[in-house]
Structure 1
Amino acid sequence: LQFYMHDQTSGSNPTTAFVTTPQINNDTYFGVVAVFDDLLTRSPSIQSARVGRMRGMFTFDSLSALSLLQSATVEIFGRAGSISLHGQNPFLDPQRELAVIGGSGEFRCARGYATVST
């Protein structure tokens, strides 16, 4: 499967909501928690065919680096079931991996990894 996620943190239609703000002053946003419900498309253009949604949450979890702990569920339109992802996402790295930790329906017992790039 290959798709492109469109995360909107601002504007008139944000798809990410920041739930908490840090209780301490830091450069890595340590303590920020957010939830998201992002559109997935077939190509990098947000105007391309819509193929699904990715929903989940992330936490800035490092005092020393910009990094996220991320959990998400991928829903592909027209398919019965979902794929669950979890892992560390050092989002400034050009390429990352999240573990596929399971699935439901057609994707039951899914395992492997998802390659993520920005």
Structure 2
Amino acid sequence: MTENFICLLLPLLVISQTFPAAGEPDPMKYPYRIEKLSHFRFYWHNIFSGPNPTVVNIVPPLEHKNKTTWLFGKVDMIDDPLTETPEAGSRLLGRAQGLYAMASQEEIGMLMAMDFVFSTGKYNGSTLTILGRNPALEKVREMPVIGGSGLFRFARGYVKASTYSYDIKTGDAVVEYNVYVLHF
């Protein structure tokens, strides 16, 4: 029994000696910090029209003969402005960069994968990462915050998205985002 246990441990000892740990973080760089909850509200501008669209289709939807599939399979890449108010010319707070894919055959349901990249104030250079399902026709949609960088290291939380305006002719949309995030 003891021999089997030693045989199991031997590869672990070899691995730990072959690949040394990167080291523990210096506790002086990270003094005891209290996690706080922050709430942000901004507006996401998804622009298909005009000379500078912020959305580019990278995978078109597949044609399906006998049924409406709500653009199932379509994938769009985004670099959308995040503004302080719903007006396009309002103060730019950052950008939403990433992609969304039409992931439902029965409704307008998207898989969103994006970073909110902040460019103003104390959060300049920090990011929050969103990954989740967005059923676009619901009044309020909730998606998780799964991480971040800069001042948002170890972030977790959620966003609530509500469509502020949508132009059916162009596909342009303005969406209000309320972000609730725990961070240090």
Tell me the equivalent position of 2:41. 2
Amino acid at match of 1:67: G
Q: Is the helix fraction higher in 1 or 2?
A: 2
Output the TM-score relative to the length of structure 2.
0.62
Which segment is superposed worse, 39-48 or 73-82? 73-82
Post-superposition CA distance 1:62-111 (Å, at most 9, x none) = 11111100100001113232100010001111110110000011100110
Aligned length: 118
Q: Distance in 2 between matches of 1:75 and 1:102?
A: 12
Determine if the alignment matches structure 1 residue 39 to structure 2 residue 81. yes
Corresponding residue of 1:90: 135
Against the structure 1 CA distance between its residues 23 and 81, is the aligned structure 2 distance closer, same or farther, given a 3 Å change threshold? same
1:48 Cα deviation from its structure 2 partner: 1.0
Q: Which moved more, 1:98-107 or 1:19-28?
A: 19-28
TM-score, with structure 1 as normaliser: 0.95
3-state SS of the aligned residue for 2:71? coil
Q: Larger RCO: Structure 1 or Structure 2 (Cα < 8 Å, ≥ 6 residues apart)?
A: 2
- Distance in 1, Cα, partners of 2:70 & 2:150: 38
Q: Deviations over 1:1-23 (max 9, x none)?
A: 11101110122110000011122
Residue identity in the other structure for 1:37: D
> In 2, Cα distance between the equivalents of 1:107 and 1:91?
27
Identity across matched positions, percent: 36
| Alpha-carbon distance in structure 2 between the residues aligned to 1:50 and 1:38 | 10
The separation in 1 between residues aligned to 2:62 and 2:96, in whole angstroms, is 28
Q: Which runs of 5+ in 1 are unaligned?
A: none
Structure whose alpha-carbon radius of gyration is higher: 2
